[in-house]
Chains A and B, each alone.
Chain A
């Protein structure tokens, strides 16, 4: 079945780096735009980043632009989020989500279960 599985979360010190991965199965990743969305404890979802089907279009939330990089390897059916210069307010459950569209924002029709990132000294 259609599935997204995130990995790579953990505890990291402020200023540190982490790379999240999202393995896709049950559908062709190369045909889908993808997102990262995070949710801090007790808060609502916050969109983080978007990448088009071929990796040419990328968009970021202001709070992560310049620190986070979204990328994809369609040959490996995997989405990534490289997170650098991490701060305490980056602590959250990070979801990868598939967009219904291939290259723009429509709606997120498949979500993973999330990977936990804790930024703490």
Chain B
């Protein structure tokens, strides 16, 4: 299985400050079509996960542009340029290149 490792486990951020979350895959997520099959999801308290970023760097519909994704091969990053109070929750990366699809362990983001 592709093992997804996220760091840090938790993050406390002052509103307006940036935040960054890393996700490392045990194997390359590069598809033969040139895309890396890595997504980012945010699970707000009491809600299902919602997609933020797909195929490494594409913002999903309705996602604010303060969220951005980057990376290649096995190393990926989610950045929030200016954290807002509504960004609290647990962030998960997920690979969809290989079955079984696997999620990272999650990064809990709290506001200071």
Among B43, B54, B101, chain A packs the most CB atoms within 10 A around the CB of: B101
Which chain B residues border A46 with CB–CB below 8 Å? 103
Whether B37 lies near A44 (C-beta < 8 A) is no
Q: How far is the CA of A46 from the CA of B4 in the complex (A)?
A: 12
Closest residue of A by beta carbon distance from B1: A62
**A contact face: mostly helix, strand, loop, or mixed:** strand
Whether A44 lies near B39 (C-beta < 8 A) is no
Whether A105 lies near B37 (C-beta < 8 A) is yes
Nearest-Cβ distance from residue B45 to partner chain A, whole angstroms: 13
B106 CB-CB contact with A under 8 Å: yes
**B contact face: mostly helix, strand, loop, or mixed:** loop
A47 CB-CB contact with B under 8 Å: yes
Whether B49 lies near A45 (C-beta < 8 A) is yes
Q: How far is the CA of A117 from the CA of B49 in the complex (A)?
A: 18
Q: How far is the CA of A54 from the CA of B61 in the complex (A)?
A: 26
Whether B100 lies near A107 (C-beta < 8 A) is no
**Known contacts A44-B105, A47-B101, A47-B102; is-contact A105 B96 (Cβ 8 Å):** yes
Nearest-Cβ distance from residue A56 to partner chain B, whole angstroms: 16
Q: 5 pairs across A/B with beta carbons < 8 Å?
A: A47-B103, A59-B99, A95-B48, A95-B49, A106-B96
